[in-house]
A and B are shown apart, each in its own frame.
Chain A
Amino acid sequence: MTQDNHGKHYKFGMVIDLDKCTGCGSCMVACMSENNVPFKEDETNKKDSINWMKVFKLTNGKPFPNTDVCYMPRPCMQCGGKGEHGHSPCISVCPATATDYGYDTGIVSQIYTRCFGCRYCMGACPYHARYFNWWDPKWPDGMESYLSPNVSPRMRGVVEKCSFCYHRYQIARDKAYYEERRDTIEEGEYQTACTQACPAGAITFGDLNNPEHEVYKLVKPDPHQCGKPRNPKAFRLLERLQTNPKVYYISEREWVRKAGDNYRDGEWEKKA
């Protein structure tokens, strides 16, 4: 791929501590307002709601008093694909090249003006991180002035998804260029809206290639295994699909870690 024209390569990633998450949903709200995510007048039917960041509720399925609950926020995993070559499930199937892999950031783009709404990518995504706009967005009177000018609004008939608040990276890079330090974006200069909104501090965001960054220290990604976490308490969703997500989860609880993938009988015990 001939895309690396801007020096240093980042690999932005997110680590979510599931033991800290209280399921409050602040990340979902922050995400929606940051990214001009449209909503319906009546949101009771969640099947066609749009949530770039969505909090799921897991239980260990045990009766009282052993019941345990875990809330799991799910953004787009920004998959690197098998071997981290940038062939993520959604990119591989898009017939319009409306989504591509940024080799300089590791972020999977979504270009709304290019998308024609075939929704192959939605079928391909194993994390259900992509959403379809069944309607044009309708903002209540006066709300249009609250929209962010840094994120382009979407129209009916296109797919959208979490971009790791890419516009914030663009803004950070703007500043870096202005200060003539093009390749050195500080950890604090580029953070996603959900990271900053989480009151429990469960979400950490940064560059997985940089050992100084908190995300690296938390999961210690293994460069020889496409970023597989070396921290035994950390895991990625559906690791066996080799999608190589850049979103990591951490939990001390074994049943939570086990819920991150589908294990056959006895497989989990063998792994542990």
Chain B
Amino acid sequence: MSELKKKTENGSVDGAEDATSNEQKAGGDSGVGMGVLFFIAAFAVCFLSGWLLFPSLLYSKKEQPFNFNHALHVEQTSGCESCHYFREDGSFAGVPKNSSCMECHESQLGDTKDEEIFMTEYVEKGIEVPWYIYSKQPDCVFFSHSAHVVGAKMDCVTCHGHIGESESLKPYQENRITGYSRDIWGESIWGIKKNPWDRMKMDDCAQCHQEETGSKGACFQCHK
């Protein structure tokens, strides 16, 4: 008699039913247990590699040409605006060019290695420093510094964080697919945002605009 037939026969007989079905359950449980275990293990491997390994694959790390001590410069000058200034037409200078630096650094002022690199490799050779810009937005984005800093009287810190207090530059991380800086998506791959400067995506702009002005604005307000 085949096993299947035996089971059906037993199943129809009331007296023997309990014993057989218990036996069946035990065998089935161990199979399910293995399956669950395998699922959990595989899930953990995939999950961790997705969240921990993938970001390091997605972003390439690039070191800045030389280190820059923001804290030191802020101390010596009157604040962010002395180097990151507005031009007369209302446009924003962004990262300063050599000519701005040389208003102070005509000759070497300190004795750091970094300043020496700046003087010998860039000033003397007349080459602009190819800084990687952490907060560079895609080219379809229009951002008006004057609207935010002059118009809305916002602090630099609100979007850029406490970079003015840093003594060294972190490595620049570039998204290998889009070519955008990691600071746009944010350091947290989970998308968790604790401070307003943690992320610089469109949703973050829109969120603040919604709160402060009551509207996200039309597309062309921030696009070009």
Q: Which parts of A161-186 form the interface with B (CB within 8 Å)?
A: 163, 166-167, 170-171, 173-180, 182
Kindly provide the distance from the CB of B154 to the nearest chain A CB, expressed in whole angstroms: 12
A113 touches B140 (CB 8 A): yes
| Interchain CB contact under 8 A, B90 and A175 | yes
Q: Smallest CB–CB gap between A236 and chain B, Å?
A: 23
CA distance A153 to B138 in the complex (A): 11
**Which residues in chain B, 145-180, are within 8 Å of chain A measured between CB atoms?**
146-147, 150-151
Q: Does B82 contact A (CB under 8 A)?
A: no
Classify the secondary structure of B's interface with A.
loop
Q: A3-B215, A4-B215, A111-B219 are in contact. Are A174 and B147 (CB under 8 A)?
A: yes
Q: Determine the residue in chain B with the shortest Cβ distance to A103.
A: B218
CB neighbours of B151 from chain A (8 A): 177, 180, 182
Which single member of A114, A176, A178 contacts B86 (CB below 8 Å)? A178
Complex formed: what's the CA distance from A180 to B89 in Å? 12
A151 at interface, CB cutoff 8 A = yes
Count contacts on A: residues with CB < 8 A to the other chain.
Answer: 38
Q: How many A-B Cβ pairs are below 8 Å?
A: 88
B217 CB within 8 Å of chain A: yes
Q: Is A5 a contact partner of B215 (Cβ separation < 8 A)?
A: yes
CB-CB under 8 A for A5 and B213, given A104-B218, A174-B89, A177-B90:
yes
**Chain B residues at the A interface, C-beta cutoff of 8 Å:** 86, 89-91, 138-140, 142, 144, 146-147, 150-151, 209, 213-215, 217-221, 223-224
9 more CB-based (< 8 A) A-B contacts, given A6-B213, A173-B147:
A5-B214, A100-B218, A101-B218, A105-B220, A113-B138, A113-B223, A166-B220, A174-B91, A175-B146
